[in-house]
Amino acid sequence: MRSLKVLILEDNPFQLMALHQMLNANGVFNVLTAETVETARQSLDSKGPVDIAICDLYLEQGDSLELIRELAERSLAQVLILLSNAEPDVLQGVANMARQQGLNVMACLPKPASAKLIGQVLTDCQERLRAGQPVTSWARVRHLLDLGEHEPLPPSADTSQASIVRSGRVWFQPIVNQAGELQRVEALARWQLDEQELLLPDAFLPVLEFAGMEEAFTWHVLEQALGLAGQVMGQTGHLLQVAVNIPGRMLEREHFPQVLQSLLQLHGVPAHGLTLELVDTSRLKTDSAHVTGLLRLRMMGCKLSIGDFGMGGTSLQSLLELPFTELKIPPAFASGMAGDDRKAAIVAGAMSMAAHLGIGVVITGVETAADYHAAGKLGVAWLQGCFIARPMEVEALKQWIMFQATPVHVPVHR
């Protein structure tokens, strides 16, 4: 295990000592300890950020919520582990809050924490952080783009484009209706770091954004997705609808709709075959260039989707004032809804609202037959998730479509 740096915030001195010993037993010796939030702040200010923060939720002098916020805002920790015997809904609420603020919440452990659980979580953290991963942002850019030590940063446009073409990958995940019939595929970004390691968006998109490469990468994904749709159209005469995530700032580019229109025409794909999904809707402003950009895209015929509806800063105001045609219900609400009445109620409420507004719904994170059936009982929606099909490369998708002459088979509950 590489040398992790860990902060422990625990106001019980005996449990604090026990946690410290557990970390030492797992080969972690760079440990900052604190019994109060103020002491934790002072330690972080003097000794710098940590890899992992282990925080007791309830303290004799208040709680650790303020520190958790600071950990996220000031990038003082990469991973958060919560310690508490709080009610599950409280603990889940704190974990969700921390994730929305940008922290990777690895575990919520009961008190007192056991040595076995701490060991397991540290191992998981180690795998996530990966040995030798650069820490500084520009170092991560250099690492991700495989640049030499003396190559200039930020990277030139040519260097950026070459890296995107070399390492950018686009996988696809089918979206079906409740009869299991294919309706659309979503383009999902990947980054081939080396022969063995394929990175998911959370691991590389922030780095590309920092390097000013996010928009160029989005165009790469659009090119691949529309290229696939054009191939299918040419070979079968049928339209394969595709969805692509775009950052909100691209809406501010005056020529974005025109360039996109040219790309659609190049591949012979009608605009109504493309859905543009915006996840960071909290950044959209209803009185700015964003509205103009969205309206131009809708006038072209493109569909617009609110991604991760109900998470982060997504608001009902977006549905009222912006021309969206669809909302996507995220896995945080959909996964496990068959056995969770609260999740089912949230999904049902979102579907009812969408029906009254006259917009579509995609339920993502459908991982089991039970959730598949539960969605069918709540209303009309399209479905996406690993129970239906996992994300796959383009050739695998073509095979999936070829053999998908019949709908997804779902066992019937007796």
Torsion on CA atoms 274, 380, 313, 319, rounded to nearest 10: 70
Same domain, 209 and 307: yes
User: Are residues 281 and 386 both part of a single domain?
Assistant: yes
pLDDT for 153 equals: 67
Average pLDDT over residues 364-372: 93
User: What confidence score (pLDDT) does residue 177 get?
Assistant: 92
* Claim to verify: residue 219 and residue 328 sit in the same structural domain: yes
**Over the chain, what is the mean pLDDT?**
85
Same domain, 183 and 102: no
CA distances from 174 to 83, 150, 375 (A): 38, 43, 17
pTM given for the model: 0.67
User: Could you give the angle at the alpha carbon of 342 between the alpha carbons of 62 and 317, nearest 5°?
Assistant: 80
Residue 140 included in any domain: no
> Is residue 205 a part of any domain in this protein?
yes
Q: Classify residue 321: in a domain, yes or no.
A: yes
- The residue-averaged pLDDT of 397-406 equals 78
pLDDT at 307: 83
**Is the pLDDT assigned to residue 175 strictly greater than 70?**
yes
Cβ atoms of 338 and 374 closer than 8 Å: yes
Phi, psi values for residue 105, rounded to 5°: -85, 110
11: region left, alpha or beta (phi > 0 left; psi from -120 to 50 alpha): alpha
Q: For Cα atoms 267, 227, 237, give the angle at the middle one, nearest 5 degrees.
A: 65
Question: Distance between CA atoms of 322 and 169, rounded to whole angstroms?
Answer: 31
Mark whether 323 and 210 lie in a shared domain.
Answer: yes
Tens digit of each residue's pLDDT (9 = 90 or more) over 207-261: 887 678 889 999 999 999 999 999 999 988 889 999 999 988 888 788 999 999 9
Q: Which residue has the tokens 């068959």?
A: 338
Task: Provide the β-strand partners of residue 82.
Answer: 55, 108
d(CA 164, CA 211) in angstroms, rounded, equals 12
The answer on 119 and 10 residing in a single domain is yes
Rounded to whole angstroms, the Cα distance separating 391 from 404 reads 15
Average pLDDT (119-132) is 70
Is 95 found in the same domain as 244? no
Q: Which domain holds residue 172?
A: 164-402
Q: Is residue 142 part of a domain?
A: no
pLDDT band at 171 (very low <50, low <70, confident <90, very high): very high
Q: How many domains are contained in the chain?
A: 2
Instruction: Give the per-residue pLDDT at 411.
Output: 44
Is the pLDDT reported for residue 282 higher than 70?
no
